[in-house]
Chains A and B, each alone.
Chain A
Amino acid sequence: MLLWICLRWPDASTPLTDRHDLLQRLALSMLQYTPKVAFFRQDSVVLEVATSLSLFGGIRRLVQAVRRQAIEPPHRMRVGMAPSASGAWLLAGAAAGARRVVRLSSLERCLSRLPVSALPETGLHWQWIENIGCECLGDLSRLPRAGLQQRSSPALVHALDLAYGRQPESLAWFQSPDVFCQKRQLDFNLQQADAIQSAAQPLLHALCGWLHARQEALHEFSLILHHEKGRHACPPTVVSLRFSDATWRLEDFNRLLAERLNHSTVQRQVIALELSAGPAHARAPANDTLFPDPARFAQDEHRLLDLLSARLGNVGILRPAPRAHHLPECANVWESGTQAPASSSFPASVGDKPRPFWLLPQPQALSTRHERPLHQGRPLRLIQGPERIETGWWTPGGHQRRDYFVAEDPDGARYWVYRQREVGDGWFLHGFFA
């Protein structure tokens, strides 16, 4: 058995060009629920959902989800559901009565109450139909079939058969485009972050549907905010988002977008939104295991890092990238970015010598009293050492010869200090033991 949901444009008077974008977007977002999506009679999108019911938790939940996406202010699509596509379309346009039926018998009952004019094929013969006293579709379908076909047209009989589900519908299924780039013209101006976020929802839903139909995931997309044109025209603002893990989920898109929009100020009023997807890749199959999976941990971690980098920027996130170098400040290298470091790339010598956990990026010169280094006016006592580090003799002016000591102040706090030997004799503070 088939079950169709129809999203029908509420009034027929709007020009076709205006509808086109919205219907295209709706068809794309409906691909989230079923691959069988088609345009119907130029003002509707129909989808066949019989096979999707259990995945989305039943008819009621599925219809609710579809209805939420059918509202795109100021337009609100009418939603009808029936065992035939034409029937769903007719019910969606009905002024009163049930718009959603599941069984053929209830479809017949509901359709029979609709006025004859609801079916566009009756338009040529309305005079005749009115004269014989048919007011609703029920009257029409009760007429002898051969006679009706003879006096009206085969198209009318065929349309009636399709609506009542007596003949199978043949529709050309909607094919998703190869490149995703959708633009939404707004009928209003926006500047606030959360308003932009909610205005972008239909586009994000369309993106999710597009990715779902192709079973793909993406690493980046950009939302382009178009500003008013004219004398004070300014170039569009581009908000590009990057994901460490290829993703296709709406909540991932939304979380990152919210963080980015909240932390960048949009200078001008936004009149249109455009979403364009970066290169998409085939999705990795989901791994549902009973026990916690290290890969899932990594995914959660990537999600967290994407979110952190959206607010702190890439420079705010640092991961270790130690180098093999004799000078401690040159060996302790941190690289910004969300990419997790590979421990195999670390030099083998990392961690073979005791070092203080807090390492000053630039050694700090210490004054001396009676040949002893002073820190903040208090004498330091050398308790361990020396460890000599000598390097750079091959470069002119780069020769370093340092004798490192662990020193203690009168309180007992420990310091890592060194005595410069080659150029400029003196004491330097280089770290604290945390």
Chain B
Amino acid sequence: MATPAPLLRHPERIHPALWRATQLAQPTRPTVGTGFPMLDQALPGHGWPVGQLIELMLERAGCGELQLFRHALAQQAIERCIALIHPPYPPCIQAWAHWKLAPERLLWLQPASTSDALWAAEQILRHNVCAAVFCWANSMQAASLRRLQLLAQQSDSLCVVLRPTSARYQPSTAALRLVLQPCRQGIRLHIVKRQGAASPDPLTLQLYPSYRKAAHHAALDLPEMA
């Protein structure tokens, strides 16, 4: 078998937008570290891409989806606000403050319909004043995802769309797609799409310390299966 020419061995030297199918892409835009070394290793540029659409698919709200961004949000400019568009439940200010993030940065938008929610996300990206936009949408057309991706590329915000897991098999233009599942003390992540080689195994990230250590006294209700 002929070995490829030396230039082809490193296609990223020809143009940053080129990469071999076995490699991870070299992003042209900056990324923000996730705070989880294992996840950083799996993402192109070793962090959440800024100015790209990130799509999270989860079965139900409350499996640690926002804690994934805790580290990234703490690193961004403190005067820019963080927009939560159409969240499934009221966000808790005290929890946010406990994460050492400034609560006055939060902006909770409660639009009446999905089209209003997408419009709001669009305007926020256009004005480029928010450090991050989180948009919860149950039903979304491929065209509106594409629109958001294009607008995200023109901004320097972290743009995250959260959808149900049923969207997993629908095509999407998002640069990064993850399926999230809860698991013991943490979260399990399947990288459905990234710029680079397909990721074979799900990643398990630990969000909470082991409860045996955390408990002040013996666990109240020791697991039978532990």
Contacts and interface: CB of A to CB of B under 8 A. Distances in A.
A310 to B, nearest CB: 10
A97 interface: no
A316 interface: yes
Given A312-B112, A312-B120, A431 B79 contact: no
A411 B181 contact: yes
Nearest to B117: A312
B203 interface: no
Interface string A405-434: 100100111110000000000000001111
B103 A357 contact: no
B95 A300 contact: no
A322 B93 CA distance: 7
Task: Among A331, A385, A432, find the residue whose CB has the most chain B CB atoms closer than 10 A.
Answer: A432
Contact of B103 (A312, A318, A320, A413): A320
B70 to A, nearest CB: 10
Interface stretch (B3-11, B22-30, B34-42, B84-92): B84-92
B97 A351 contact: yes
A346 B95 CA distance: 14
28 contacts: A298-B79, A303-B127, A307-B123, A311-B116, A312-B111, A316-B111, A320-B96, A328-B92, A328-B94, A332-B94, A333-B93, A334-B90, A341-B103, A341-B104, A343-B102, A346-B97, A351-B100, A351-B103, A354-B98, A381-B223, A383-B219, A411-B183, A413-B60, A431-B62, A431-B92, A432-B61, A432-B89, A434-B62
Contacts of A322: 93-94, 97, 103
Interface stretch (A28-36, A276-284, A358-366): A358-366
Interface in B116-156: 116, 119-120, 123-124, 127-129
In order of increasing CB-CB distance, the 5 nearest A-B pairs are: A432-B62, A351-B97, A413-B182, A358-B89, A359-B92
B123 A308 contact: yes
A405 B215 CA distance: 11
Interface of A is mostly: mixed
B116 A357 contact: no
Interface of A: 294, 297-298, 300-301, 303-304, 307-308, 311-312, 315-320, 322, 328, 331-334, 340-343, 346, 350-361, 372, 381-385, 405, 408, 411-415, 431-434
B90 A414 contact: no
Task: Among A300, A361, A381, find the residue whose CB has the most chain B CB atoms closer than 10 A.
Answer: A381
B32 to A, nearest CB: 19
B75 interface: no
A81 to B, nearest CB: 39
A345 to B, nearest CB: 9
